[in-house]
Amino acid sequence: MSEINQAPIGVFDSGVGGLTVAREIMRNLPNEEIVYFGDTARVPYGSKSKETVLRYARQIERFLRTQNVKAIVIACNTASAMALEELTAEIDIPIIGVIEPGARVAAGTTKNKRVGVIATAATIGSETYTRCLKQLDPEIEVLDKACPLLCPLVEEGWLKDPVTDEVIHRYLESLLQQDIDTLILGCTHYPLLRSNMQKAVGKEVTLVNPAYETAVELGRLLEKEGIANQGNREGKPCHSFFVSDAEQRFNDFANTILPLDVTSTKQINIEEY
């Protein structure tokens, strides 16, 4: 197996949310090594402009290249919406975001062609999910809603909490009234609220978690490009984690999400890239 097959996958997010994508990659592609970057000094991206998020994404891409990654996953819906197109045109290694994989599954799932999307204000404002879904099937009606309070609620740890359920109910009410049968969880934090969401929308609505679909898509892409890791390394893959702010809070959160102990996260100054 050549050197490039053994190179790591770069995975980045505005903070900790992308760990739900990293988790799916670890589960589904257990031979692949991950270099994760969380931009914890500038989190969140979801309330910021395209220009700013694109500038941040370019800095992160330059950092990840110093780690010799063979492919990049933008494990953040906002950054996928704001920067995937530009980065794809600018770099010479495979790069995928979380939006297209999620949209593809939703398009294949919906029966009544009414798909709901919940995400940050920036992702919703970009209309990337809508464009993606319409491209896959022009008959699909997209009903979307920005949910700025859900990330703070997850980060505060109020997962099983009546306040969170009430906020979810408030955000989803208008989508449900419009008879959606499929709901895309368009922010990497939202899978952590999956059971609350399912309770709010009822069994008839299918929830789509782009994290899982992204991992599957990544696997296909690596195979197609002939750069998948075939797994003849010695021992388990050794993932590494980088952040732009202090490591401790990131490690605490990571250890509640990932099936491994994260202890050696390194802090870097991302503004230098």
Binding site for its own copies (CB under 8 A): 40-43, 47-49, 51-52, 148-149, 152-153, 155-156, 158, 163, 166-167, 170, 244-246, 249, 271
Q: Quote the least distance from Cβ 125 to its own copies, whole Å.
A: 10
76 is catalytic: yes
Q: Return d(Cα 201, Cα 193) in angstroms, integer.
A: 12
Whole-angstrom CA distances from 120 to 77, 79, 108, 250 are 8, 11, 24, 21
Q: Quote the least distance from Cβ 224 to its own copies, whole Å.
A: 37
Going by C-alpha positions, the residue among 40, 256, 42, 46 that lies closest to residue 151 is 46
Residue 170 neighbours by CB distance under 10 Å: 13
Catalytic residue among 132, 147, 151, 187: 187
Q: Quote the least distance from Cβ 140 to its own copies, whole Å.
A: 28
Q: Return d(Cα 8, Cα 145) in angstroms, integer.
A: 35
Q: Return d(Cα 271, Cα 273) in angstroms, integer.
A: 6
Catalytic residue among 76, 132, 147, 151: 76
- Residue 93 in contact with residue 70, Cβ under 8 Å? yes
- Complex with its own copies: residue 27 or 170, whichever CB lies closer: 170
Query: Tokens for 212?
Result: 């899982």
- Complex with its own copies: residue 141 or 155, whichever CB lies closer: 155
- Residue 11 in contact with residue 211, Cβ under 8 Å? no
Going by C-alpha positions, the residue among 235, 231, 238, 155 that lies closest to residue 192 is 155
Q: Return d(Cα 189, Cα 98) in angstroms, integer.
A: 13
- Complex with its own copies: residue 42 or 104, whichever CB lies closer: 42
Residue 84 neighbours by CB distance under 10 Å: 21
Output DSSP code: residue 192.
G
- Complex with its own copies: residue 165 or 181, whichever CB lies closer: 165
- Complex with its own copies: residue 9 or 16, whichever CB lies closer: 16
Q: Quote the least distance from Cβ 210 to its own copies, whole Å.
A: 23
187 is catalytic: yes
Q: Quote the least distance from Cβ 56 to its own copies, whole Å.
A: 8
Query: Tokens for 260?
Result: 């491994």
Provide the annotated active-site residues. 76, 187
